[in-house]
Structure 1
Amino acid sequence: MKPIRYTKEMTDEFVRDGYWTQETFYDFWEKNAREIPDREALVDSKYRLTWQQAVELVDAMAISWVEMGIEKHSRVIIQSPNSVYGFLARIACERAGLISLTVYPYLRKKELTYMVDRTKASAVIILHTYNKFNYLEMYEDLQKEFSHLQNIFLFDDMVPPGAPQGTFSLPTIVEKRVKQPIDKNILAERRLDAIENVAILTTTSGTTGIPKLVEWPAAPRICTSKGRVDIWSLTKDDITMAIAPHAGGAAGTLTYFAAPIAGAKTVMLEEFSPDAALALIEKEKATAVGVVPTHLIRMLEADISKYDLGSLRFIRSAGGYLPPQVAEEAEAAFGASITSDLGTQDMGSVSGCRVKDSKDLRRRTVGRMLPGNKVRLAHQENREITVPDGEPGILYFRGPHAPAGYYRDEELTSTVFDKDGWTTTEDIVKFDQGCLWILGRAKDMIIRGGQNIYPAEVEGLLNDHPAVGSVAIVGYPDREMGERSAAYVIPKSGMNFDFKTMVDHLKSKDIAMFKLPEHLEIVAEFPTVGDSGKVNKETLKKDIREKLGL
């Protein structure tokens, strides 16, 4: 299956410049099995596998699917909590020439109906039940609706009585097949071209509640993963840990995509609780963990002093907004750096901070552009004009870290990428100290009396106040000034914050008076966009207009 967006000129450019290669992710597993065969690769509560053992199981899984007649380029949905077999299934799909779509365990029939139909998936890989939900029953219903969904593979050791035809225990198949010879030439013939074939599908948070699907060949994902390995200084001595689901970017980027390239081990936390996460970090001596902000906040509420977390080197928090004050507390509590970066499933990866960057850069910027990314900052009123050096502008970028577009949808893809591959996050940014500083989104910029207010700048200053847990700045209409700004603040537990305190704090930062918010709302929580964790500023804008009778 050929990617829909890349032109020959693009692929030639990225190959010529050394960013895209014919490497697949399986190649790194095979390399580790050859060079460090007896070192551990994957760990969960049931399995501890060396690189050699992991590759043997991957090969057995892949050849089993081939021998069962699953055709090359078939789409396979993997719905799995954190587990060794969930990991193995992803890489085995690539090894067998299949296109994998790994999704969160919490998705249900509404979302899965769309995905099964859209991808024409021929197989799914699931647990029978998880957290008291019967996945097998859900997919049995979907099988009745979609004849192309022929096989259900269970992560369970047994197939329950009454399971639909075409249901198999994946561990049973693999454990039997791994004891028999495998003709690796058959698997070699199924190899996906790292540039010319779609290998992976990922999901995005859709505004309608139905996730969009994004297609990726291996080459851009490997390019980005190498960039992450570099900025995180990952080596084979690192022990990465998936606290967030490996299906998402928060943990998946660190563990599934980056760790094997460095030869680093991955540990899987199957079910999150603060104490379970902290205990596993201590037990496995994890050096890097992938979390969403909620995990971090809940872990900070636990008695951290009970655990030896001295092995931790850095924390990768993604998938939602992490207030700077929480990051500050976490770094002090865990003794590890928290990294930040910029990227989306729709557009690819843009930039990232190094683990060794100063605290100020890691907290206030999204780091340096990843290798190969080209960038231009456009004028906010005329996007055809590039702003002068040092001036803020709307971020446009193109490079080897971008996906091929929305799955089989050239029209929708063209709304994100132009014909030359340029795209925009709509962020207003500036470059300083070699790093990308986000000042706000173009649609969130406030123009007060002809002067621009960038919400992120004011938010960053307010986050420095010891009583502020989180803050969002939004604009509201004003007859005299056009717009004025309001601050929504979630105070820290047990602390007070009022309008005078806010103004006095901002004045102490020596910023221009027009940037001071002219209204303050104290709230307990922010509305968010879908399951992304991002603050829904459109809801806050509507709320402030209603409160002020505008």
Structure 2
Amino acid sequence: MQLSDILHGSALKRPDHPALVSAGVQYTYAELSGRVRRLAAAVAATTSPGDRVAIVADNCVEYFDCLYGVPEGRAILTLVNQRLTAYEVDGILRDAEPRVLVVGAEHAERLSDIRSRVSSIERVVVLGKADPPAGLTPYDEFLALGSSAADSAGSSGPGAGDPERDAETAWLIYTSGTTGAPKGAMLTHRSLVSAMLNVMLEWHPSRDDRQLFSFPLSHVAAVMTLQYHLRQATVYLTAGFEPGAFLAAIAEHRITHTGLAPTMLNMVLAHPTIETADLSSLRMIAYGASSMPPDLLRRSMERFDVDFVQNFGQTEVSGNVLVLGPEEHRRAADGEPHLLAALGRNECLAAVRLVDDELNDVPVGEIGEIVVRGDQVMAGYWRNPEASAEVLAGGWLRTGDLARMDDEGLFYIVDRKKDMVVTGGENVYPREVEIVISALPGVSEVAVFGVPDETWGERVTAAVVARADAQVDAAAVLDHCRGRLAGFKIPKEVRIVGELPKNASMKVLKRVLREQTAQS
């Protein structure tokens, strides 16, 4: 099954049912299917199979056009986090080499001269603006390039596509690793469909559900919306997250399912309208990105009479592979708070193991690396065979996460080989930040790590050692980061230290740094 088969098949079954509500405008399945066909035809008319079409935009209905329509047009959709700086966007686009760049009107100005920096881009298409800057193409004008082909397209549905195309890359999403260099995870039609089916077996969405989605569509979490379209339900899309508007939307649209990072949930509970908000329609809150603090869960369960579900995964597995379900959450609230430290148990459609460096299973209770195998695993990293071979060695995806498993089959995270920091639902890779700070004149050494934070889950922290002949202060480090890193990657705390703690092999001991920071 190809991604657009999901939408077109649902349009055959429920053509007049609302598929998407965005910015107060409602689109039926038939209407959204038509929009996607028009975009697919325009993409096919202006690119060749396997070309990339990148998008930098806030959440909007046109983003859904691209999620489905670009792969239907045989191109690869490159999803770029719109919160990145122009410097960071340039680096991703130079690697992906898209022929077409789709930008939201809110980002058009800062990317208006992108073609002078990324030579592969032939056309910049602007959403939501009839008169974009000179040289940029309005979205409607781009759609017209394939209008005749779209008008002649026939109906299709699940199973109607070419099985060989299921293995083609549909989305390209960049994720950093220990080297700090962003790598493009190649997610195929098959891997994305498998990931959403894996979650559907746990969430049990119905045809009458109404999902409220407030996460950025530029993340792999976008796949969570497609499962509701497969079920012929309705997705309500917000441009961003604001707790008051979030609560109002639940009441107005009688939302049944939604997702929140713990940071977002904390903001909702602190909002002045939380006690009077009508939440009676809500049945499930899914969360991820970081674990749920016990006190936050207790307060949430007191206010929200719903099922809580935690999912664990990563971009390379097209979504999630572990789930901590409603039963474990109720047990945690009833006196077993240790369960909230669990990632969850293995979902049905992926194999998950804990192994040593030779891929041997470790005994229950001992620490091993989480490895995954199944249809939802990525095809590899874009144009990076060495990294692909390393992470997929032995036929299992090595996640880089260290965990242990208990007698119930629940996985508990112990540490991250990649030292990733999760702050406010965003992934920050320390090496990427360290490279930027190291370029500041006068810096001798730097280590970036995460420490617990009540608001953000973790806060990005940097320990910096200045050269003996230089003066470096926290303000200079932060000023250097601005414009080079997205706001969520910039350290919230910079400590100027005399030296970094190291072991006998001179490896920096970030565990010690975390402890020192917590004590101070």
TM-score band by shorter chain is 0.7 to 0.9
Aligned pairs (5 A) from 1:489-508: none
Report the CA distance shift for 1:376/1:230 in structure 2 as closer, same or farther (over 3 A): closer
Report the CA distance shift for 1:283/1:547 in structure 2 as closer, same or farther (over 3 A): closer
Q: Which has the larger radius of gyration?
A: 1
3-state SS, counterpart of residue 395 of structure 1? strand
3-state SS, counterpart of residue 184 of structure 1? coil
- The correspondence for 1:308, drawn from 253, 278, 293, is 278
- The correspondence for 1:101, drawn from 78, 88, 96, is 78
Aligned pairs (5 A) from 1:223-234: 223-234=194-205
Give the Cα–Cα distance (whole angstroms) in 1 for the partners of residues 262 and 515 of structure 2. 26
- The correspondence for 2:310, drawn from 340, 354, 366, is 340
- The correspondence for 1:542, drawn from 497, 502, 513, is 513
Deviations 1:122-157 (A, max 9, x none): 11111222xxxxx22333322012332011111124
Report the CA distance shift for 1:395/1:291 in structure 2 as closer, same or farther (over 3 A): same
Q: Check conservation: 1:430, 1:436, Cα contact below 8 A.
A: yes
Q: Check conservation: 1:278, 1:307, Cα contact below 8 A.
A: yes
Give the Cα–Cα distance (whole angstroms) in 1 for the partners of residues 489 and 410 of structure 2. 22
3-state SS, counterpart of residue 367 of structure 1? strand
- The correspondence for 2:293, drawn from 286, 298, 323, is 323
Deviations 1:469-508 (A, max 9, x none): xxxxxxxxxxxxxxxxxxx87689xxxxxxxxxxxxxxxx
Matched, 1:215 2:215: no
Match of 2:246 in 1: 277
Q: Check conservation: 1:44, 1:268, Cα contact below 8 A.
A: yes
Matched, 1:288 2:249: no
Report the CA distance shift for 1:103/1:422 in structure 2 as closer, same or farther (over 3 A): closer
Residue type of the alignment partner of 1:35:
K
Number of aligned residues? 441
Match of 1:91 in 2: 68
Match of 2:415 in 1: 441
Match of 1:19 in 2: none
Match of 1:527 in 2: 460
Deviations 1:28-55 (A, max 9, x none): 1011100011110001114210001100
Give the Cα–Cα distance (whole angstroms) in 2 for the partners of residues 395 and 107 of structure 1. 29
3-state SS, counterpart of residue 60 of structure 1? helix
Q: Check conservation: 2:365, 2:404, Cα contact below 8 A.
A: no
Give the Cα–Cα distance (whole angstroms) in 1 for the partners of residues 52 and 185 of structure 2. 13
Report the CA distance shift for 1:415/1:338 in structure 2 as closer, same or farther (over 3 A): same
- The correspondence for 2:137, drawn from 168, 182, 185, is 168
Residue type of the alignment partner of 2:167:
E
Match of 1:42 in 2: 20
Report the CA distance shift for 1:338/1:103 in structure 2 as closer, same or farther (over 3 A): farther
Give the Cα–Cα distance (whole angstroms) in 2 for the partners of residues 398 and 331 of structure 1. 34
3-state SS, counterpart of residue 111 of structure 2? helix
Report the CA distance shift for 1:170/1:48 in structure 2 as closer, same or farther (over 3 A): same
What TM-score, normalized by structure 1, do the two folds share? 0.71
Deviations 1:45-97 (A, max 9, x none): 14210001100111112212333x22222101111211111111221102211
Give the Cα–Cα distance (whole angstroms) in 2 for the partners of residues 299 and 525 of structure 1. 18
Q: Check conservation: 2:169, 2:186, Cα contact below 8 A.
A: yes
Aligned pairs (5 A) from 1:425-504: 425-433=400-408, 435-441=409-415
- The correspondence for 1:74, drawn from 40, 51, 54, is 51
Report the CA distance shift for 1:63/1:116 in structure 2 as closer, same or farther (over 3 A): same
Aligned pairs (5 A) from 1:403-422: 403-422=378-397
Report the CA distance shift for 1:206/1:179 in structure 2 as closer, same or farther (over 3 A): same
Deviations 1:268-295 (A, max 9, x none): 1113221111111111111111222222
Q: CA deviation at 1:355?
A: 4.4
Match of 2:113 in 1: 141
Q: CA deviation at 1:262?
A: 1.7
Give the Cα–Cα distance (whole angstroms) in 2 for the partners of residues 106 and 27 of structure 1. 30
Decide which moves more: 227-236 or 324-333. Answer: 324-333
Residue type of the alignment partner of 1:310:
S
Report the CA distance shift for 1:397/1:308 in structure 2 as closer, same or farther (over 3 A): same
Match of 1:450 in 2: none
Q: Percent of pairs identical after alignment?
A: 20
Match of 2:169 in 1: 198
Matched, 1:30 2:8: yes
Match of 1:238 in 2: 209
Match of 2:469 in 1: none
What 5-or-longer segments of structure 2 have no aligned partner?
333-338, 420-450, 463-485, 494-507
Report the CA distance shift for 1:151/1:196 in structure 2 as closer, same or farther (over 3 A): same
Aligned pairs (5 A) from 1:106-117: 106-117=83-94
Report the CA distance shift for 1:431/1:171 in structure 2 as closer, same or farther (over 3 A): farther
Q: Check conservation: 1:314, 1:339, Cα contact below 8 A.
A: yes
3-state SS, counterpart of residue 322 of structure 1? coil
Q: CA deviation at 1:211?
A: 3.2
Q: CA deviation at 1:383?
A: 4.9
Residue type of the alignment partner of 1:143:
R
Report the CA distance shift for 1:543/1:41 in structure 2 as closer, same or farther (over 3 A): closer
3-state SS, counterpart of residue 224 of structure 1? helix
What 5-or-longer segments of structure 1 have no aligned partner?
1-22, 130-134, 446-487, 493-522
3-state SS, counterpart of residue 199 of structure 1? strand
Q: Check conservation: 2:175, 2:315, Cα contact below 8 A.
A: yes
Residue type of the alignment partner of 1:122:
R
Report the CA distance shift for 1:307/1:108 in structure 2 as closer, same or farther (over 3 A): same
Give the Cα–Cα distance (whole angstroms) in 2 for the partners of residues 99 and 192 of structure 1. 17
What TM-score, normalized by structure 2, do the two folds share? 0.75
